[in-house]
């Protein structure tokens, strides 16, 4: 995505401040660490370094090294330890620095954490939060740029959260930590510096509630994570051409608010799904299928996907920039649905 | 480096007889499981623990009820040794509603949270993180609970084991790693798959370790007691390598084994190193009980196992509508 310096999204709250997404995540972690002694953070460089993204800065000073633990570079091990702790009374937050490293964690997530509650007939539970990242265009090449949220969304038993704004990130992360299930929480690396309004006081945001980021009549753009900004910019472009676009952010892929997505699709009759995972077998495919199944008779055109190209993320900026959806490409696809291409 | 040379806790009459009963219970249970499979009354497969009984019983007798264990695909013995009931275990193996997991786990996933059993695991080495995390939790919560992590020598091939052993040593976590070396990674002798010494792996992390006769329940109990007490005192993890043998195949269907191990080898272990014979001979020699009393114990657990299996065979399956329940908590 192109990084917006500041996006003021409409939210009505008393005592609003403008803070970055990184600060919002930091506040959520600090508040939950204060609120519940069972919460702890574990990950590579989460203590003094505050992670490479400086998201956890200051937490070890307040909560100490017993609750903010610098771990070895052992992604599977820390997730396994987080799971065992979660099963025995703790609420761990495991930091997996880059989403690409989820590949190292998949047994612990997919075979272990996701299935504990089900396989035990409901007798064990795993209130584990795994925070990780997604997103390309950081010039980080193929092993530090992937958006692998579809991988974990495919496994029943995991919840999957993709916040797009500082407000959403804070409220959803607090909900994740309090949830009794394993939750994988994806933050786009390119959004950490994005600022937005966040209220002073305590709040949480429920899972399974999509948020309409912009209302419109002619076309629905369903967008996840940082693609919400791409969609909002596309909507601005479309507005200049007299097209009214609605932008819907599912916020959580699991559980998914089908109702809001489908209602918007029925209202506009045209849908583009924008997601930074690869196109084939991706989150965008599932979202498109949900809409096609439940809103087919209201649709004026096929549901379209705008997702990452099916190539490993290349290093060279000239190559990398082609691989992800842009406001131009999303606007263009939207217009094609209206016969305006 | 061995765990410190504290004298082994004395095994008195009461404990010896309880261990004998538990070992007999596991043996009778597993032999019944084999029959259920052979008579096509059990869905799926099972991995029998026969021959290894002294390891599970020796370790679990050194634990408290509120201590944790994690188990393996060959987990029935650990589950029974930690206190599970025969009847509910059979129900789980047969996919019945009364089972420990309402029939959703089966042989390879039985968990019994009431006795601290965090579950069997069908991924080799898959529960090593869970056990180490339970130990982390015990320490963080300020409880004096201990976690015992059972795994076979096959798990020595899995990287996650070394990741969590490193952290257990770094953070002085109260966990006892129990490596059951039954010599076979499924159908392959471990010498073909395992470089270096087994206990040396623990030595690399500075974790105290012992190699012991896993067929002698008193030896297992003594070593486990030292390791558990060490963990409970806040002195960190230990690593036990228990030399043992699995009498049956990798699973109940593995009946033609000549291509990977000889009949002679199997017969020799059964004749010379059977854990029940070894304990029974010691009990009689020490005068703690006579043959007649031990025979009565055996008959009693066999009757319990037979009744448990009959109960499970007659028990109802879960309602089909339960398929969608328990995917998510809350």
Please write the tens of the pLDDT for every residue from A64-113: 999 999 999 999 999 999 999 999 999 999 999 999 999 999 999 999 99
Out of B100, B159, B328, whose CB is closest to A157? B328
Please state, rounded to an integer, the average pLDDT across all residues of chain B: 96
Out of B113, B129, B140, whose CB is closest to A108? B129
pLDDT band of residue A134 (cuts 50, 70, 90) is: very high
Question: B66 to chain A, minimum CA–CA distance in Å?
Answer: 11
Q: Which residues of A touch B330 (CB under 8 A)?
A: 125, 179-181
pLDDT band of residue A4 (cuts 50, 70, 90) is: low
Tens digits of residue pLDDT in B74-88: 999 999 999 999 999
Q: Which residues of A touch B134 (CB under 8 A)?
A: 84-85, 87-88
Measure the CA–CA gap between A135 and A153, rounded to whole angstroms.
Answer: 16
What is the percentage of chain A residues whose pLDDT exceeds 70? 96
Is A181 in a helix, a strand, or coil?
coil
Question: A284 to chain B, minimum CA–CA distance in Å?
Answer: 23
Q: Is the pLDDT of residue B1 over 70?
A: no
Q: Is the pLDDT of residue A12 over 80?
A: no
Out of B102, B122, B134, whose CB is closest to A88? B134
Residue among B238, B178, B181 nearest B209 (CA): B238
Question: A142 to chain B, minimum CA–CA distance in Å?
Answer: 24
Q: Is the pLDDT of residue A13 over 90?
A: no
Q: Which residues of A touch B84 (CB under 8 A)?
A: none
Sign of CA dihedral A72, A74, A77, A80: positive
Residue among B112, B55, B50 nearest B86 (CA): B112
Q: Which residues of A touch B (CB under 8 A)?
A: 38, 40, 66, 69, 71-72, 74, 76-90, 92, 107-108, 111-112, 115-125, 127, 156-157, 159, 179-181
Question: Which residue is associated with the tokens 């059972």?
Answer: B150
Give the pLDDT of residue B7. 57
Contact criterion met (CB below 8 Å) for B17 and B297 = yes
Q: What is the ipTM of this complex?
A: 0.96
Please state, as a whole number, how many other Cβ atoms lie within 10 Å of the Cβ of residue A73.
12
Out of A74, A116, A117, whose CB is closest to B163? A74
Say whether the peptide bond before residue A255 is cis (omega within 30 degrees of 0). yes
In the sheet that holds A304-308, the strands lie side by side as A211-214, A245-249, A219-223, A271-278, A304-308
Is A257 in a helix, a strand, or coil?
coil
**B327 CB-side CA count, 13 A:** 12
Q: Which two tokens stand for residue B112?
A: 């019994």
Pairing of strands B175-181, B238-243: parallel
Question: Which residue is associated with the tokens 């967008």?
Answer: A223
Tens digits of residue pLDDT in A159-205: 999 999 999 999 999 999 999 999 999 999 999 999 999 999 999 99
Q: Which two tokens stand for residue A16?
A: 């609003």
The arithmetic mean of pLDDT across residues A288-292, rounded, is 98
Q: Do the chains contact at A157 and B102, CB–CB below 8 Å?
A: no
DSSP-H helix ranges across B94-151 = 128-140
Q: Do the chains contact at B330 and A122, CB–CB below 8 Å?
A: no
- Triad A289, A295, A301: Cα angle to 5°: 80
Tens digits of residue pLDDT in A20-75: 999 999 999 999 999 999 999 999 999 999 999 999 999 999 999 999 999 999 99
**A157 CB-side CA count, 13 A:** 21
Q: Do the chains contact at B100 and A123, CB–CB below 8 Å?
A: yes
Give the pLDDT of residue A8. 45
Q: Is the pLDDT of residue B276 over 50?
A: yes
Q: Is the pLDDT of residue B160 over 80?
A: yes
Q: Is the pLDDT of residue A1 over 80?
A: no
Question: A271 to chain B, minimum CA–CA distance in Å?
Answer: 30
Out of B104, B132, B325, whose CB is closest to A80? B132
The arithmetic mean of pLDDT across residues B18-40, rounded, is 97
Measure the CA–CA gap between A230 and A274, rounded to whole angstroms.
Answer: 8
Asked if B119 reaches chain A (Cβ–Cβ under 8 Å), the answer is: yes
- Triad A54, A277, A198: Cα angle to 5°: 40
Asked if B102 reaches chain A (Cβ–Cβ under 8 Å), the answer is: yes
The arithmetic mean of pLDDT across residues B243-255, rounded, is 95
Q: How many CB pairs under 8 A join A and B?
A: 152
Residue numbers of A annotated as active site = 144
Q: Is the pLDDT of residue A16 over 60?
A: yes
Measure the CA–CA gap between A147 and A188, rounded to whole angstroms.
Answer: 9
Q: Which two tokens stand for residue A37?
A: 């002694």
Give the pLDDT of residue B282. 97
Q: Is the pLDDT of residue A5 over 50?
A: no
Q: What is the DSSP string of A184-231?
A: EEEEEGGGTT-EEEEESS-----TT--EEEE--SSEEEEE-TTHHHHH
Please state, as a whole number, how many other Cβ atoms lie within 10 Å of the Cβ of residue B316.
10
Look at the pTM and tell me if it is higher than 0.80.
yes
Q: Which residue of B has its CA nearest to A83?
A: B130
Contact criterion met (CB below 8 Å) for B69 and B116 = yes
Residue among B49, B52, B148 nearest B108 (CA): B49
Give the pLDDT of residue A216. 98
Question: B93 to chain A, minimum CA–CA distance in Å?
Answer: 13
Please state, as a whole number, how many other Cβ atoms lie within 10 Å of the Cβ of residue A329.
16
């Amino acid at each position: 995505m192109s990084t917006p310096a500041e996006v003021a999204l409409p939210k009505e709250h008393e005592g609003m401040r403008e803070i970055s997404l990184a600060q919002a995540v930091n506040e959520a972690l600090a508040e939950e660490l204060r609120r519940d002694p069972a919460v702890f953070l574990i990950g590579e460089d989460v203590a003094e370094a505050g992670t490479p993204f400086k998201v956890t800065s200051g937490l070890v000073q307040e909560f100490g090294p017993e609750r903010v633990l610098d771990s070895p570079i052992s992604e599977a091990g820390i997730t396994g330890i987080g799971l065992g702790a979660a099963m025995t009374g703790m609420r761990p937050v495991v930091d997996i620095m880059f989403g690409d490293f989820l590949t190292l964690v998949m047994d612990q997530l997919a075979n272990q954490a996701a299935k504990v509650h089900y396989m035990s007939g409901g007798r064990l539970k795993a209130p584990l939060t795994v925070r990780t990242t997604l997103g390309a265009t950081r010039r980080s090449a193929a092993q530090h740029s992937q958006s692998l949220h579809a991988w974990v969304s495919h496994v029943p038993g995991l919840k999957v959260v993709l916040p797009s704004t500082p407000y959403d990130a804070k409220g959803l992360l607090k909900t994740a930590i309090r949830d009794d299930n394993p939750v994988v929480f994806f933050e786009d690396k390119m959004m950490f510096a994005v600022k937005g309004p966040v209220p002073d006081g305590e709040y949480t945001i429920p899972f399974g509630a999509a948020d309409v980021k912009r209302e419109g009549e002619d076309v629905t753009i369903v967008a996840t994570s940082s693609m919400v900004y791409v969609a909002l910019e596309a909507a601005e472009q479309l507005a200049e051409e007299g097209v009214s676009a609605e932008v819907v952010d599912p916020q959580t892929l699991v559980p998914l608010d089908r109702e809001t997505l489908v209602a918007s699709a029925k209202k506009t009759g045209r849908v583009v799904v924008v997601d930074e995972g690869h196109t084939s077998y991706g989150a965008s495919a599932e979202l498109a299928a949900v809409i096609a199944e439940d809103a087919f008779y209201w649709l004026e055109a096929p549901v379209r996907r705008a997702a990452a190209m099916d190539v490993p993320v290349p290093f060279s900026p000239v190559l990398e920039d082609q691989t992800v959806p842009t406001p131009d490409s999303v606007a263009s696809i939207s217009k094609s649905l209206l016969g305006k291409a | 480096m061995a765990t410190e040379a504290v004298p082994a806790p004395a095994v008195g009459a009461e404990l010896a007889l309880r261990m004998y009963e538990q070992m007999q219970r596991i043996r009778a249970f597993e032999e019944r499981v084999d029959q259920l499979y052979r008579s096509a009354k059990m869905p799926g497969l099972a991995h029998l623990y026969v021959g290894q009984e002294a390891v599970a019983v020796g370790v679990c007798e050194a634990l408290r009820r509120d201590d944790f264990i994690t188990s393996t695909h060959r987990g029935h013995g650990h589950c029974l040794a930690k206190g599970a009931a025969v009847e509910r275990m059979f129900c789980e193996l047969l996919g019945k509603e009364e089972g420990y997991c309402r029939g959703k786990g089966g042989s390879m996933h039985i968990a019994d949270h009431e006795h601290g059993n965090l579950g069997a695991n069908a991924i080799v080495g898959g529960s090593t993180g869970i056990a180490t995390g339970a130990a982390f939790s015990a320490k963080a919560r300020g409880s004096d609970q201990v976690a015992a992590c059972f795994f076979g020598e096959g798990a020595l091939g899995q990287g996650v084991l070394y990741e969590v052993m490193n952290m257990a040593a770094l953070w002085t976590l109260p966990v006892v790693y129990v490596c059951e070396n039954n010599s076979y990674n499924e159908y392959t002798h471990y010498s073909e798959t395992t470089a270096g010494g087994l206990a040396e792996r623990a030595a690399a992390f500075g974790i105290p370790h012992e190699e012991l006769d896993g067929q002698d329940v008193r030896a297992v109990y003594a070593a486990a007691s030292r390791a558990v007490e060490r963990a409970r005192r806040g002195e960190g993890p230990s690593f036990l390598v228990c030399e043992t043998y699995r009498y049956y195949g990798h699973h109940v269907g593995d009946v033609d084994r000549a291509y990977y191990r000889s009949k002679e080898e199997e017969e020799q272990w059964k004749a010379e190193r059977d854990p029940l014979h070894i304990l029974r001979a010691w009990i009689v020699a020490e005068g703690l009980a006579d043959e007649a009393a031990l025979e009565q114990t055996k008959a009693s657990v066999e009757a319990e196992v037979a009744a448990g299996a009959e109960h499970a065979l007659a028990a109802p399956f879960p309602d089909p509508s339960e398929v969608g329940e328990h995917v998510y908590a809350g």
